[in-house]
Amino acid sequence: MNYASSIKTAGLVALPPWRSRVLFGVLLLCLFGLTVRAVYLQGIHNDFLQQKGDARYSRVVDINAHRGMITDRHGDPLAVSTPVESIWVSPQDVEATPQQVKQLAQILGMSSAEVKKRLFDTTRDFTYLKRQLPPEQAEKIVRLGVPGISLHREYRRYYPSAEVAAHLLGFTDVDDNGQEGIELALQEQLGGRSGSQRVIKDRRGHIVEDVASVRAPKPGSDLALSVDSKIQYLAYREIKLAVEQHRAKAGSIVVLDAKSGEVLALANWPSYNPNNRAKPDTRVMRNRAVTDLFEPGSTMKPFTVAAALEAGKVTPRTVINTEGGVLTIGGRKIHDTHPEPFLDVAGVIQKSSNVGAAKIALSLPPQTFWRSLSETGFGAQTGSAFPGEAAGRLRDYKKWLPIEQATMSYGNGISVNLLQLARAYTAFANDGELKGVTLLKQDVPVVGKKIYSEATARAVRDMLEMVVQPGGTAPLAQISGFRVAGKTGTAHKLEGRRYVNRYIASFVGLAPASNPRLIVAVMVDEPAGAEYYGGQVAAPVFSNVMGSALRLLNVPHDAPLDNVLMPPADIIKEEA
């Protein structure tokens, strides 16, 4: 009996012989295809397998660049970056017991639920557990030995002066990028460039070998500011005391080197601590000395007089009919706090006569007056490059009404920031040469722009000296051993289109008057109580800061030590 007969006898169906041959051929083709694919992947195009293999143990990690240090003009640190550790996890590799999760939560100051969520969130390949920990805290986490948890070296900004220079320096975010102030303005120079490195990690996520540097980090550049940290502290202390003493809303102060325009100090109160990562109120963070505009009041009168002197309309001894302290223009009245029938131009500055200033301004063609104010820097930014600096407001002269030209002469209808106002006074300190302002230390002489003749600048400076003498509006600005020149301002605040009984008290002065070295500008916003005049509120701040700063800089005296002459206390007043 043959095989086919046997199959048939057994009741089985015989398969065609060709099927086995087809199946063998298919299997042979599959084997051939697999062989070709293996040769292709391993011998010709092996990048894919190499990448998959590297992904099991190889990583490219970022290397943060060290941020440049900020120092004052003498090299004292104002902002430094300190190394810190950030804790990150690879959820796919995490192996943590409930006890380890609890310990992690205790060390990090987090809830166990939050830690557990981050550790085992497998929808992510990478997540931070917590950033910027002190080294000793990070070491405690390392000792737990939890697989999948790794350290990443970063840098955290530290500000030794804290609140004292907060508005000037600003701060950085958690990624060490500048957010405010100098940190933001000079981010490109300070920030540097991050690098990267390829490393090998074990199954626990720990780096066991550095393979290669993909890109070396480029550290940021160190910067020396123009600021003197000692004068900065003086300025901060005095403006804080003034705001608190007079229960004011806020206050600002600027100290300039009169010869170079360098900012030696800039402070505001209220302030904040940039070392505290909890974000403060944005109103506290605002650098009022640069970003806030206000009507300067009578601190504008010297520029009105300077414009008229340059145009040849008046001399210091020209007598002005001040109308007994009341002048009506277009149905509106201008008043003087201390009415006088007649004052010479020097007396207009000393007594701070609004009527006298208005008449001097109206003697000028509008275009001439506007051009003089514009050349002095009003209505334009100072060039400090500080983020958010306001340009101020100086309206086009073609749109002026006579009453507007008159009120602008004593600082109403024009707006400035405090840094801009301080800069304008450099023209009187440098015999008519207006200096630019800078926040960086200057090693070469600074060339300014000539806007007044030497005779005009010196004449105005002489008038400003009269302001601080008995009979002037600011005897409290006097300094023992130094001649002082300056001007007070007391301006009603404008709300909507109406002036209200809230005030800006200000004083801008320079010393020594014989050869000015420093300019100090003070502004106090909304002083409360009986004292709200610039001569009462801002002038004493000027005196304290200027006197201490001149002594710190060893500036020679230009007056006897007993030169301070005070009138009776009830006479120390000025214009409203």
SS (H, E, C) 69-124: CEECCCCCEEEEEEEEEEEEECHHHCCCCHHHHHHHHHHHCCCHHHHHHHHCCCCC
pLDDT value at residue 494? 84
pLDDT value at residue 8? 54
**Whole-number Å distance between alpha carbons of 326 and 336:** 7
What CATH class is the domain 60-224? alpha beta
pLDDT(43) > 90: no
Catalytic residue status for 111: no
Task: Looking at mean pLDDT, say which of 101-105, 242-246, 529-533 comes out highest.
Answer: 242-246
Who contacts 419 (Cβ-Cβ below 8 Å, separation ≥6)?
254, 263, 266, 289, 290, 382, 384, 386, 389, 437, 521
pLDDT value at residue 132? 80
pLDDT(125) > 50: yes
Q: Percent of the chain having pLDDT more than 70?
A: 87
Task: Looking at mean pLDDT, say which of 120-124, 218-222, 438-442 comes out highest.
Answer: 438-442
Q: Which of 104, 67, 71 is nearest to 87 (CA)?
A: 104
Tell me the pLDDT tens digit for each residue of 361-418: 999 999 999 999 999 999 999 989 999 999 999 999 999 999 999 999 999 999 999 9
Alpha helices in 247-320 (DSSP H): 282-285, 288-291, 301-311
**Whole-number Å distance between alpha carbons of 335 and 448:** 37
Tell me the pLDDT tens digit for each residue of 167-200: 999 999 888 889 999 999 999 999 877 766 665 5
Say which amino acid occupies 472.
Answer: G
Tell me the pLDDT tens digit for each residue of 486-532: 999 999 998 877 888 899 999 999 999 999 999 999 999 999 988 99
pLDDT value at residue 238? 98
Please answer whether residues 515 and 549 qualify as being in contact, where contact means their C-beta atoms are separated by less than 8 angstroms.
Answer: no
pLDDT value at residue 131? 81
pLDDT(308) > 70: yes
Give the HSE-up count for residue 386: Cα atoms under 13 Å, Cβ half-sphere: 28
SS (H, E, C) 394-463: CCCHHHCCHHHHHHHCCCCCCEECHHHHHHHCHHHHCCCEECCCECECCCCCCCCEECCCHHHHHHHHHH
pLDDT value at residue 480? 96
Q: Which of 353, 363, 360 is nearest to 304 (CA)?
A: 360
Pairing status of strand 518-525 against strand 498-511: antiparallel
pLDDT value at residue 154? 79
pLDDT value at residue 283? 81
**Whole-number Å distance between alpha carbons of 487 and 519:** 12
pLDDT(557) > 70: yes
pLDDT bracket for residue 210 (50, 70, 90): very low
How much is the average pLDDT of 240-255? 97
* Sheet containing strand 518-525, strands side by side: 263-269, 250-257, 518-525, 498-511, 485-495
Cis peptide before 512 (omega within 30 of 0): yes
pLDDT value at residue 14? 63
Lowest mean pLDDT among 120-129, 353-362, 405-414: 120-129
Q: Percent of the chain having pLDDT more than 90?
A: 60
* 60-224 and 229-271+290-571 in the same fold: no
Please answer whether residues 180 and 168 qualify as being in contact, where contact means their C-beta atoms are separated by less than 8 angstroms.
Answer: no
pLDDT(58) > 70: no
**Whole-number Å distance between alpha carbons of 209 and 54:** 13
Which one is predicted more confidently, 204 or 298?
A: 298
Catalytic residue among 298, 352, 409, 548: 298
Could you please report the per-residue DSSP string of 474-541? -GGG-BTTB--EEEEEEEEEEETTEEEEEEEEEEEEEESTTS--EEEEEEEES--SS--SHHHHTHHH
**Whole-number Å distance between alpha carbons of 418 and 534:** 14
pLDDT value at residue 397? 94
pLDDT value at residue 477? 96
Q: At what angle do helices 539-552 and 229-245 cross, to 10 degrees?
A: 160
Per CATH, the architecture of 229-271+290-571 is what? 3-Layer(aba) Sandwich (3.40)
pLDDT value at residue 208? 47
Say which amino acid occupies 104.
Answer: L
Q: Where are the domains of the chain?
A: 60-224, 229-271+290-571
Cis peptide before 270 (omega within 30 of 0): yes
Please answer whether residues 429 and 515 qualify as being in contact, where contact means their C-beta atoms are separated by less than 8 angstroms.
Answer: no
N-terminal to C-terminal alpha carbon distance within the chain: 135
pLDDT value at residue 48? 60
Please answer whether residues 238 and 545 qualify as being in contact, where contact means their C-beta atoms are separated by less than 8 angstroms.
Answer: yes
Q: Please tell me what DSSP assigns to residue 313.
A: S
Tell me the pLDDT tens digit for each residue of 440-481: 999 888 889 999 999 999 999 999 999 999 999 999 999 999
Q: What rounded mean pLDDT belongs to the chain?
A: 87
pLDDT bracket for residue 114 (50, 70, 90): confident
Q: Which of 520, 497, 495, 526 is nearest to 507 (CA)?
A: 520
pLDDT value at residue 525? 96
Please answer whether residues 238 and 541 qualify as being in contact, where contact means their C-beta atoms are separated by less than 8 angstroms.
Answer: yes
H or E element: which one contains 267?
strand 263-269
Lowest mean pLDDT among 30-39, 336-345, 376-385: 30-39
Who contacts 108 (Cβ-Cβ below 8 Å, separation ≥6)?
87, 115, 129, 130, 133, 137, 141
pLDDT value at residue 475? 95
- Region label for 91, one of left (φ > 0), alpha (ψ between -120 and 50) or beta (otherwise): alpha
Lowest mean pLDDT among 65-69, 140-144, 241-245, 247-251: 140-144
pLDDT(50) > 70: no
How much is the average pLDDT of 535-561? 96
pLDDT(144) > 90: no
